[in-house]
Amino acid sequence: MDKLVMQYLSILNWKAAESYEKYPHLCPKFIPEIGRKYIKVVQVGEHQRSVHSFINRKTGDLYKAAGWAAPVKDARYNLHDHMEHLKEHADIYGSYLYKNSYSLSQMAG
C-alpha cells in the first residue's frame, strides 16, 4: 500500500511542478498525514494547507475530501486498480474526484 500511496503523491507533485513551471517558488507540495483509517493527502502551499483527498489505508480506495476531517461517502477510485487512469487524469485541483468525472462508479458498470 505504501508504494501505491507514494506513487499517487508523486503523480500529484509532478503535475504541480508542471503547472507551476514558470513560478516554482509558488508550487504546492502534496504530503501524507497518516491517521487510523485514512491517509489524508494535504496540499501545502506558501501560506496555506488544504485537504486534497483521502486514501483508505486497508483497501486503497481514494476519496474526495468532504472537509478537513473526513472524506465523502463514496470512493472515487482505487489505487490498486486505477493507478494508470490516475496517471492520466489526476490534477492538482481535484476535479477528477467529482462524481461527474470519470470515476470508480462509472468504471464498474
pLDDT tens for 50-109 read: 999 999 999 999 999 999 999 999 999 999 999 999 999 999 999 999 987 654 555 554
Q: What pLDDT score does 109 carry?
A: 47
Q: Is residue 106 part of a domain?
A: no
Round to whole Å and give the CA distance between 79 and 76: 10
Instruction: Cell numbers for 78, please give them.
Output: 482505487
Q: What pLDDT score does 107 carry?
A: 58
Q: Which domain holds residue 80?
A: 2-99
Give the count of domains, the chain: 1
Q: Is residue 80 part of a domain?
A: yes
Round to whole Å and give the CA distance between 32 and 53: 10
Q: Is residue 23 part of a domain?
A: yes
Q: What pLDDT score does 57 carry?
A: 96
Q: Is residue 77 part of a domain?
A: yes
Q: Is residue 104 part of a domain?
A: no
Q: In 43-78, which ranges are continuous DSSP H helix?
A: none
pTM score, whole prediction? 0.88
